[in-house]
Structure 1
Amino acid sequence: MSAYPTITVAEPFPAPHAGHAENEALRVCQLRDIRTVECALSDLASVARGKIQTTAEFSEQRGTRLPSIIFGTTVVGGEPRSVYEDLIPCTYPDVALTPDWATFAPDPLIAHRATVLCDVGGGFTTPKGIAVEAAALSPRSILKRVLKRLDERGLAALVAPELEFFLVAIPGARHGTSLPPAPSPFHPNVRESFIDIFSLERTSAFEPFFTTLFAACRAQRIPVTGFSHEAAASQYEVNFAPAAPLAQADAVFRFKRLARDVALRYGFAATFLAKPYVEGPGSGMHWHMSMQHRDSGRNVFSGADGAASAELLAFVAGMQRHALATTALIAPYQNSYMRFQKHEAAPAAASWGQDDRSVAFRIPVSNAANRRIENRLPGADANPYLLLASMIAAGLDGMEHQLSPTAEPDPLPLSLDAALQAFRHDDWTRALFGAQFVDTYAALKGHELAQREQAPSGLEWDIANLLHHA
């Protein structure tokens, strides 16, 4: 039996009270001997960018500043010429990071450190003379903007993701496309050799990893509820309790970082790469969503008689209408499209149905109070802020126009290039996200795609560059 490492996980901070979260956070720093604070935000690829400050400096500045390059960098650190010729000034002017104090939490794995998610402020003028608010490029701010529209309609949403990922051996310097399953912390010479779906023995082999990961989630108030072995070798799924969309996007953003960090400490890798293996299922990020009238709490997706409402069907229809134009957000890499091309358990069209796991938009069996939609399209590599923004906005558009779902939807794009063309030239996406965001996102993703196409092997490029970042 192997001696696996003992990992100490920080205890959670007390839950903040509305209106007092800032003062409570600074007081916790004193009581818990917090010496450094991490200011973090999501870039367009869902990579955590930010700065670590001493507690004294953080308390004085109440945030930090970073150069605007954080929104003009590819997932592998590239700086596309097209971005800096047209969209972001090459002088890299600063943007301000302002803490969302409700997200102030301990870093579960680093002693005496806290972390807080930040919104971005300030702005700059593009090389073409266009004034741009920095928030227009922030995925978190974009989601908040969509949620404001939901609130203005007297509505609220609850969402719950199911997030799949693989546990794999850390590749060596000359790995190629070979990616063996992770060794068990208990028995490093024992590896999964076949698909053992829902196996409790396989899952128990990684008990130290999941115990530490769930303790870290508790410290950051990430509402995980369970985990299981999935339909591929060394693939697992973690479930989340329902929560408000912004809090849940924050939770997924933080969870992926924690899973990768904890896995590395046990000597293997957790990867959210959508398709690390050519054969077999890929990893998805399925989202269950219900909607409520804010004043009464009644489920919008159920009628007075308890049956599915017209609003539910219209919401599905809106997601169908905009699925092609937003595929680049739910499938952000060329690797993502291997899920659709070899679509074991992943739909290849914006289909819908009742309790049908082969479709994109599934209506699970439920009572009237819990009626919901499951969006099965997004991959595990998607940015949670952007996919929720597109999903909710598309559904609202369907409700506003009283659309009806179709039984014969158009197929999804089967390449990132096709998806980016649809995203960039769609009037609705440009109105929703803004031209600056759409063009910047398309330029960054196009640059990543060009780098991949120059590699001898696409999958080898994916593993080398996305294994720890997707």
Structure 2
Amino acid sequence: MSDWTDKLPEAARDYISGRRLDEVECLVADLAGVAKGKAMPASKFAKQAFFHLPNSIFAQTITGDYADMPDESEFTEPDMVLVPDFSTATAVPWSADAALQVIHDVNDQAGNPVAMAPRNVIKRLVQLYADQGWKPIVAPEMEFYIVARNLDPNQPIIPPVGRSGRRMMANQAYSMSAVDEYGRVIDDIYDFAEAQGFEIDGIVQEGGAGQVELNLSHGDPIQLADEVFYFKRLIREAALRHDCFATFMAKPIEGEPGSAMHIHQSVVDIKTGRNIFADAKGHETDAFMHFIAGMQNYLPAVVALMAPYVNSYRRYVPDFAAPINLEWGRDNRTTGLRVPISDPAARRLENRLPGMDCNPYLGIVATLVCGYLGLVEKKMPRPENTGNAYINADEIPTTLGDALDLFSECAPVREALTPEFCDIYEAVKRNEYKEFLQVISPWEREHLLLNV
């Protein structure tokens, strides 16, 4: 077993040092960002270089149904070849026995990357940047809710009871005492992250009751997408230890703010290592303006990736801390595209539109593909918005059906992300939307049953 363990990151080697490694979890993110794969004894994992899963894992909806293949081919579910990426190996610190989890690359039987796999989509996009001599840098901000256990889907989600014995209250943004109410969950998040070798840039209380924001340090988009994928699982496990749930739904509680995954992004010149958004004197460059223009021109077409469920659009309402516009501004949190205060080397653009319910690979892909197209097309953005941009809320789709229409019609996005991926993603989301429309809500029963 020593041969493959020599390939592990330091944190993973430290975790299993002096312990008997019991199990390895072989993981792949499906279109929803759900971990699919196999768990096997470590002794068996050591003996095989790859294993198989059917391609149908990328046609499965969030409800467990399967969408029809876009090309109308017979659904024979051929095996894909999954190869471990040992650089992603990390601990499973909530497991009773010593265990590791490893993200796998997904190839077809001829050794070609499977276009439908979200991790392959982001790897392809990063390569498109590299072909131009650029390297994108991102820093995600993760918002989520800690909520009371909800065992009956017909009942509303409510905040948990905190350390004081009272239910958590909203409108306590940045309150340290509010964070202390569920401090044991936060402690476990820190402990799990340390065991897994992840760096947390900071944790703060957000505006909702039990809503938390966790920030990650900037870095490579593929690595950061892997970390968010792992963090979602980590945070859920930490909450379960303390008799509550962690949820990444975009809008879990009626009347409370939604949860976003704001993404900070910059681009570095590979040869010089310099941020292309700032010139030698520290001024904003034309490339920075082109990047912003790409976001304004193409974000409507990728909203279906950043807001992938019907619930996602409940976050897109005015006056709930969700800027649903394509305006840009410096240090202006009412704009969908914000330029944070920074020194020139760290100049970046924050996309405030993605929801935390998105697949992290696809949420990061969605924002980076818009910037890439802007850099290639070299157009200029609209003038900066220096006022309250919350009132400009009619530029992006506000239903999943409309978002999918724009996604399917945008040729530049389809070419960059491949038609194979775009077709299967649209098919899965159309299926989910159709299923939702067959559900009768309590609102309909309350207001329509006897009144219409």
Q: Equivalent residues in 2 for 1:130-279 (5 A)?
A: 135-173=114-152, 175-184=153-162, 186-187=163-164, 189-279=165-255
**CA, structure 1 residues 323+191, in 2 after alignment: closer, same or farther (shift >3 Å)?**
same
State the SS of the aligned residue for 2:46.
helix
Q: Equivalent residues in 2 for 1:274-285 (5 A)?
A: 274-285=250-261
State the SS of the aligned residue for 2:143.
strand
AA partner of residue 257 (structure 2): P
Stretches of 4+ moved more than 3 A in 1?
22-32, 85-89, 407-410
Post-superposition Cα deviations, 1:231-262, rounded to whole Å, max 9, x if no partner, equal 11111101111121111000001101111111
Of residues 49-58 and 290-299 in structure 1, the stretch that sits farther from structure 2 once superposed is 290-299
Q: Equivalent residues in 2 for 1:93-104 (5 A)?
A: 93-104=78-89
Q: Equivalent residues in 2 for 1:260-339 (5 A)?
A: 260-339=236-315
* Superposition CA RMSD, Å: 2.5
User: Is contact 1:278–1:338 with CA below 8 Å preserved after alignment?
Assistant: no
TM-score between both structures, scaled by the size of structure 1: 0.86
**CA, structure 1 residues 44+223, in 2 after alignment: closer, same or farther (shift >3 Å)?**
same
Q: Distance in 1 between matches of 2:199 and 2:181?
A: 23
Unaligned runs of 5+ in 2: 386-391, 445-452
Q: Distance in 2 between matches of 1:26 and 1:232?
A: 39
**1:389 partnered with 2:374:** no
State the SS of the aligned residue for 1:137.
coil
- How much has 1:100 moved relative to structure 2? 0.7
Q: Distance in 1 between matches of 2:282 and 2:271?
A: 19
**CA, structure 1 residues 320+177, in 2 after alignment: closer, same or farther (shift >3 Å)?**
farther
Identity within the alignment, %: 34
Aligned equivalent of 1:417:
401
**1:91 partnered with 2:76:** yes
User: Is contact 1:140–1:385 with CA below 8 Å preserved after alignment?
Assistant: yes
**CA, structure 1 residues 330+36, in 2 after alignment: closer, same or farther (shift >3 Å)?**
same
Aligned equivalent of 1:364:
340
Post-superposition Cα deviations, 1:306-337, rounded to whole Å, max 9, x if no partner, equal 11111111001111111111010000011111
- How much has 1:172 moved relative to structure 2? 2.9
Q: Distance in 2 between matches of 1:291 and 1:86?
A: 36
**CA, structure 1 residues 459+415, in 2 after alignment: closer, same or farther (shift >3 Å)?**
farther
AA partner of residue 143 (structure 1): I
- How much has 1:89 moved relative to structure 2? 4.1
- How much has 1:221 moved relative to structure 2? 2.3
User: Is contact 1:276–1:459 with CA below 8 Å preserved after alignment?
Assistant: no
Q: Distance in 1 between matches of 2:269 and 2:438?
A: 51
Q: Distance in 2 between matches of 1:86 and 1:267?
A: 45
Q: Equivalent residues in 2 for 1:2-21 (5 A)?
A: 21=7
User: Is contact 1:119–1:141 with CA below 8 Å preserved after alignment?
Assistant: yes
AA partner of residue 299 (structure 1): N
- How much has 1:165 moved relative to structure 2? 0.6
Q: 1:118 aligns with which of 91, 97, 104?
A: 104
State the SS of the aligned residue for 2:263.
strand
User: Is contact 1:123–1:134 with CA below 8 Å preserved after alignment?
Assistant: no
Post-superposition Cα deviations, 1:398-423, rounded to whole Å, max 9, x if no partner, equal 11221111249960001000000111
State the SS of the aligned residue for 2:47.
helix
User: Is contact 1:29–1:55 with CA below 8 Å preserved after alignment?
Assistant: no
User: Is contact 2:15–2:195 with CA below 8 Å preserved after alignment?
Assistant: no
Post-superposition Cα deviations, 1:196-223, rounded to whole Å, max 9, x if no partner, equal 2211111011111111111111222222
**1:398 partnered with 2:383:** no
**1:61 partnered with 2:44:** no
**CA, structure 1 residues 399+134, in 2 after alignment: closer, same or farther (shift >3 Å)?**
closer
**CA, structure 1 residues 419+160, in 2 after alignment: closer, same or farther (shift >3 Å)?**
same
Q: Distance in 2 between matches of 1:73 and 1:234?
A: 31
Of residues 292-301 and 199-208 in structure 1, the stretch that sits farther from structure 2 once superposed is 292-301
**CA, structure 1 residues 87+273, in 2 after alignment: closer, same or farther (shift >3 Å)?**
farther
State the SS of the aligned residue for 1:335.
helix
Q: Distance in 2 between matches of 1:245 and 1:86?
A: 31
User: Is contact 2:170–2:207 with CA below 8 Å preserved after alignment?
Assistant: no
Q: Distance in 1 between matches of 2:52 and 2:264?
A: 36
**CA, structure 1 residues 332+313, in 2 after alignment: closer, same or farther (shift >3 Å)?**
same
AA partner of residue 407 (structure 2): F
Q: Distance in 1 between matches of 2:300 and 2:361?
A: 18
TM-score between both structures, scaled by the size of structure 2: 0.89
Aligned equivalent of 2:93:
108
- How much has 1:171 moved relative to structure 2? 1.2
